[in-house]
Amino acid sequence: MKLQWFIMALGLAAMGMTVIKNGAFAGEDSPEKPDSTGVRLEKEEFGKTPDEQTVWLFTLTNAKGMKAKVMSYGATLTALEVPDRDGKIGDITLGFDNLSDYLTKNRFFGSIAGRYANRIANGTFLLNGQTYQLTVNSKPNHIHGGVKGFDKQVWSAEPFEREHEAGVAFMYLSPDGEEGYPGNLKSTVIYTLNNLNELSIQFYAETDKPTPVNLTNHAYFNLAGQGNGDVLDHVLQITADRFTPVNEYLIPTGELRSVKNTPLDFTQPCRIGDRIDDPYQQIQYGRGYDHNFVLNNQDGSLALAARVSEPSSGRVMEVYTTQPGVQLYTGNFLDGVTGKEGKAYHRRYGFCLETQHYPNSPNQPNFPSTILKPRERYNQKTVFKFSVK
């Protein structure tokens, strides 16, 4: 299916840089202006799926040497190469060197999680008087879209280039009933790299029946470089005064609890490892951090969600989003799987900051709604901005 009409309908041609709340950059009022040199885009075949679908890999390279690699299987971010304080480029995302490993060693490395990212309790929800049963793939719950979610689909792809940026638009049509979800859902995910060392991800969706939608990118980061030890020395700040506490199955209880006086208080910069093994029950449930934070900005504008720095490399990553929440996950269940360059990824060798709506929202009426209706458009954006100190 050609993407041209759908991309135009979503306003891709008019897509521009955005003034960002709580830390302006990449906008008309930003003091920093993009380099005049264009961002290069390359396309190559990455392999074929068992049913002979071709998977394409796209490499985006900006004028400062930053690279983002994305592939059509799972609309996955396979690599993100950024400079350290000495200008040395390093890959900071966990993943694999070949398609075969993505097909057989699934860890959601860099993929798009959907139709609903995170957990839905017991794989069920009630919508307009009807109970829907989803695939249960993390007993007793449904997680990240099911057994064959968006991370395991081959997406259509259309690359594009503009003066100061380039990217790829991926599209997938999820049929009515897939993994138990109602409605035919058209989803588009657009990755864009510019010369300000910003990688933006835009998420769009339309449906012909009411359905829950919650899309995110599930990249694992290690700012010291992928496979280079754990992330416990990273310093993290999250702009959230509250979080959604969970039960033993990591399902939110419905409470919005203050982070104050808990190990989940990242309102000021804090080393990730300082309290990751605290006896606090919430930490014990997740074997570390695996929690959704209620971002302070709830008006849907693009705002700062988190800032992470890594002392040895000097790399700094800022995360901006329009979403109301962000899930911090510290790779608590990584088990030594072999990744890129033959490096093993052990427990806590990566962290995720999954911008999202809250887990189990379809069963929590007090959470922001995730129900998309016909003639509405799902529209969210996340930006990862890199610098050094």
Per-residue pLDDT tens for 50-85?
999 999 999 999 999 999 999 999 999 999 999 999
Give the model's pLDDT for residue 163.
86
Question: Which residue carries 């350290």 as its tokens?
Answer: 84
Please enumerate in sequence order all residues whose Cβ is within 8 A of that of 387, keeping only pairs 6 or more positions apart, or say none.
Answer: 197, 315, 316, 318
Token pair belonging to 309: 């720095």
132 contacts 124 by C-beta, under 8 angstroms? yes
Q: 141 falls in which pLDDT band (50, 70, 90)?
A: very high
pLDDT digits (tens, 9 = 90+) for 356-385: 999 999 999 999 999 999 999 999 999 999
H or E segment at 5? helix 4-9
Instruction: Return d(Cα 275, Cα 259) in angstroms, integer.
Output: 13
* Backbone torsion region of residue 99, taken as left when φ is above 0, otherwise alpha when ψ lies between -120 and 50, otherwise beta: alpha
Instruction: Return d(Cα 278, Cα 8) in angstroms, integer.
Output: 50
The reported pTM is 0.93
Say how far residue 176 (Cα) sits from the centre of its chain. 24
Name the phi and psi angles at 323, rounded to 5: -75, 155
316 contacts 288 by C-beta, under 8 angstroms? no
Catalytic residues: 218, 354
Instruction: Return d(Cα 114, Cα 384) in angstroms, integer.
Output: 20
- With a cut of 50, say whether residue 306 has pLDDT above it: yes
Burial of 255-285, coded b for 16+ CB within 10 Å and e otherwise, reads: eeeebeeebbbbeeebebeebbeeeeebbeb
Domain that holds residue 252: 4-388
Other beta carbons less than 10 A from residue 341's beta carbon: 10
pLDDT digits (tens, 9 = 90+) for 229-260: 999 999 999 999 999 999 999 999 999 999 99
In total, how many domains does the chain have?
1
% the chain with pLDDT above 90: 89
DSSP 49-98: -TT--EEEEEEEE-TTS-EEEEETBTTEEEEEEEE-TTS-EEE-B---SS
Q: In this structure, which amino acid lies at residue 91? A: D
CATH of the domain at 37: 2.70.98.10
Average pLDDT across the chain, whole number: 92
130, exposed or middle or buried, with CB in 10 Å at 0-12, 13-18, 19+?
exposed
Question: Which residue spans within 295-369 are E strands per DSSP?
Answer: 303-309, 315-321, 325-329, 337-338, 344-345, 352-356
* Backbone torsion region of residue 72, taken as left when φ is above 0, otherwise alpha when ψ lies between -120 and 50, otherwise beta: alpha
Q: In this structure, which amino acid lies at residue 171? A: M
